[in-house]
């Protein structure tokens, strides 16, 4: 299981410090939420943040979760900024195939994201080109929301879809992950968990990461 901390609810005035604390606790990938105030009702970071992240932490993966329907501007900008993995929403794109090709030819690993209400079957034509699928377990736009329990059914449906297509890529779950919900997502078959508030909000970043890892290890 990979834990990818979402920096959205970290202390933004001490972001470098908090990211460093998480890497010292063994984290090798961060989830960076990009919100455009249009596709979702919130604003977050721009490409400069990603560029600075890669300058300071070149060996740590920057996973970009693009919550925008302005892909023409955003995808090239975040590709140039140094995204290792870029995930865009199926709901936000009329040219999925075009952007998958663009990202692959620029050496960026690609994931598609589905909102909670979107049927997993929409992924069928793209599964072979994806490096990951991200299932939202909250409605995108804000950290600190409650995990939607029906996510387990979506994970099961996606696993079946992948099996039928003979594809085996990681399933990532994002939103409301904590010590109670992480085991639910793991049991349902998630391979990557995005976790924001739980890790960054209580002041003991390393302790929260260890706690989450401990709980996930108990299941084995």
Ligand X SMILES: O=C(CO)[C@H](O)[C@H](O)COP(=O)(O)O
Residue 6 or 79: the one with the smaller Cβ distance to ligand X is 6
Q: Which is the catalytic residue, given 11, 18, 33, 179?
A: 33
User: Does residue 38 have a known ligand-binding role?
Assistant: no
Active site residue 101: no
| Helices first, then strands: H and E counts in the chain | 8, 8
**Min dist. Cβ of residue 215 to ligand X (A):** 15
6 vs 132, beta carbon nearer ligand X: 6
| Residue 99 to residues 3, 109, 157, 165, Cα–Cα distance (Å) | 26, 11, 25, 21
Any catalytic annotation for residue 174? yes
Q: Which two tokens stand for residue 150?
A: 């029906």
| Residues at the interface with ligand X (CB under 6 A) | 6, 8-9, 31, 33, 65, 138, 140-145, 174-177, 194-198
Helical pair 15-24 and 47-56, crossing angle rounded to 10 deg: 50
| Shortest separation between residue 196's beta carbon and ligand X, angstroms | 3
Nearer Cβ to ligand X (26/144): 144
Are 77 and 47 within 8 A, CB to CB? yes
**Is 6 labeled as ligand-binding?**
yes
Q: What's the number of CA atoms in the CB half-sphere (13 Å) around residue 27?
A: 33
What residues are labeled active site?
33, 174
């Amino acid at each position: 299981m990979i834990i990818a901390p979402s920096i959205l609810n970290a202390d933004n005035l001490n972001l470098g410090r908090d990211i460093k604390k998480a890497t010292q606790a063994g984290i090798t990938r961060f989830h960076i939420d990009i919100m455009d105030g249009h596709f979702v009702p919130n604003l977050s970071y721009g490409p400069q943040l990603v560029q600075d992240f890669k300058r300071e932490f070149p060996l740590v993966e920057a996973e970009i979760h693009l919550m925008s329907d302005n892909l023409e501007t955003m995808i090239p900008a975040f590709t140039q900024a140094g995204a290792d993995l870029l995930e865009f929403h199926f709901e936000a794109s009329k040219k999925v195939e075009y952007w998958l090709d663009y990202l692959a030819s620029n050496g960026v690993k690609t994931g598609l994201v589905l909102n909670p209400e979107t049927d997993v079957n929409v992924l069928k034509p793209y599964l072979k080109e994806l490096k990951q699928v991200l299932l939202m377990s909250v409605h995108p736009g804000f950290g600190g929301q409650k995990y939607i329990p029906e996510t387990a059914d979506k994970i099961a449906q996606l696993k079946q879809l992948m099996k039928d297509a003979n594809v085996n890529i990681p399933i990532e779950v994002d939103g409301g992950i904590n010590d109670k919900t992480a085991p639910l997502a793991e049991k349902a078959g998630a391979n990557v968990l995005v976790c924001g508030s739980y890790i960054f909000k209580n002041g003991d970043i390393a302790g929260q990461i260890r706690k989450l890892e401990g709980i996930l290890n108990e299941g084995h």
